[in-house]
Amino acid sequence: MTNMPGRRRRTRQYNIAEAKARLSGIVREVLAGDEVVIAKDAKPLVKIVPLAGGRRRPGSAKGQVTMTPDFDAPLEDFARYR
Protein backbone atom coordinates (compact mmCIF):
# COMPACT_ATOMS: atom_id res chain seq x y z
CA MET A 1 0.00 0.00 0.00
CA THR A 2 2.95 2.32 0.34
CA ASN A 3 4.37 4.23 -2.60
CA MET A 4 1.17 3.83 -4.55
CA PRO A 5 1.54 5.11 -8.12
CA GLY A 6 -0.29 8.33 -8.80
CA ARG A 7 -0.59 9.22 -5.13
CA ARG A 8 1.63 11.84 -3.63
CA ARG A 9 3.05 10.97 -0.22
CA ARG A 10 2.20 13.45 2.53
CA THR A 11 4.17 14.02 5.70
CA ARG A 12 2.09 14.88 8.75
CA GLN A 13 3.35 15.80 12.19
CA TYR A 14 1.34 15.43 15.38
CA ASN A 15 2.19 16.26 18.97
CA ILE A 16 1.93 13.44 21.47
CA ALA A 17 -1.42 14.46 22.95
CA GLU A 18 -3.02 14.84 19.52
CA ALA A 19 -1.57 11.51 18.38
CA LYS A 20 -3.08 9.76 21.41
CA ALA A 21 -6.49 11.24 20.63
CA ARG A 22 -6.34 10.41 16.89
CA LEU A 23 -4.47 7.09 16.87
CA SER A 24 -6.89 5.11 14.68
CA GLY A 25 -6.98 7.90 12.09
CA ILE A 26 -3.20 8.14 12.10
CA VAL A 27 -2.92 4.39 11.51
CA ARG A 28 -5.23 4.72 8.49
CA GLU A 29 -3.06 7.56 7.12
CA VAL A 30 0.10 5.47 7.46
CA LEU A 31 -1.51 2.45 5.79
CA ALA A 32 -2.62 4.73 2.94
CA GLY A 33 1.02 5.69 2.34
CA ASP A 34 1.41 8.93 4.30
CA GLU A 35 4.40 9.54 6.53
CA VAL A 36 3.51 10.40 10.13
CA VAL A 37 5.89 11.92 12.66
CA ILE A 38 5.15 12.28 16.38
CA ALA A 39 6.76 15.28 18.04
CA LYS A 40 7.21 16.74 21.51
CA ASP A 41 7.66 20.49 21.85
CA ALA A 42 7.73 20.68 18.03
CA LYS A 43 10.80 18.40 17.92
CA PRO A 44 10.29 15.16 15.95
CA LEU A 45 10.68 12.05 18.12
CA VAL A 46 9.42 9.07 16.13
CA LYS A 47 8.10 8.14 12.72
CA ILE A 48 5.26 5.65 12.32
CA VAL A 49 5.71 3.18 9.47
CA PRO A 50 3.67 0.16 8.39
CA LEU A 51 5.05 -3.32 8.90
CA ALA A 52 6.38 -4.77 5.67
CA GLY A 53 4.84 -7.75 3.99
CA GLY A 54 1.20 -7.67 4.89
CA ARG A 55 -0.76 -10.89 5.36
CA ARG A 56 0.89 -14.25 4.78
CA ARG A 57 -0.82 -16.85 2.61
CA PRO A 58 -0.15 -20.56 3.20
CA GLY A 59 1.49 -22.13 0.17
CA SER A 60 2.55 -18.84 -1.41
CA ALA A 61 6.18 -20.05 -1.75
CA LYS A 62 5.24 -23.37 -3.36
CA GLY A 63 7.88 -24.34 -5.93
CA GLN A 64 10.30 -21.64 -4.78
CA VAL A 65 11.99 -23.63 -2.02
CA THR A 66 14.04 -26.59 -3.22
CA MET A 67 16.43 -29.07 -1.61
CA THR A 68 19.09 -31.27 -3.14
CA PRO A 69 18.33 -35.00 -3.31
CA ASP A 70 21.10 -35.73 -0.77
CA PHE A 71 19.74 -33.29 1.82
CA ASP A 72 19.35 -36.04 4.47
CA ALA A 73 22.64 -37.76 3.68
CA PRO A 74 25.12 -37.98 6.58
CA LEU A 75 27.84 -35.35 6.49
CA GLU A 76 31.43 -36.51 6.15
CA ASP A 77 32.47 -34.39 9.13
CA PHE A 78 30.19 -36.47 11.38
CA ALA A 79 31.19 -39.95 10.08
CA ARG A 80 32.82 -40.87 13.39
CA TYR A 81 29.54 -40.30 15.28
CA ARG A 82 27.55 -42.94 13.34
Q: Are 30 and 48 in contact (CB under 8 A)?
A: yes
Domain residues of the chain, as ranges? Answer: 9-49
pLDDT above 50 (res 1): no
Q: How confident is the model at residue 21, as a pLDDT?
A: 96
Q: How confident is the model at residue 35, as a pLDDT?
A: 92
Considering the domain 9-49 in this protein, what is its CATH number? 3.40.1620.10
Q: How confident is the model at residue 65, as a pLDDT?
A: 83
Residue 66 has φ and ψ, to the nearest 5°, of: -130, 155
pLDDT above 90 (res 25): yes
Cα 2–10–29 angle (5° rounding)?
60
Q: Which among 9, 3, 11, 8 is positioned nearest to 48, based on CA atoms?
A: 11
Q: Which among 30, 27, 31, 22 is positioned nearest to 55, based on CA atoms?
A: 31
Query: pLDDT tens, 43-82?
Result: 999 999 888 766 677 888 888 888 889 988 888 888 888 7
pTM: 0.54
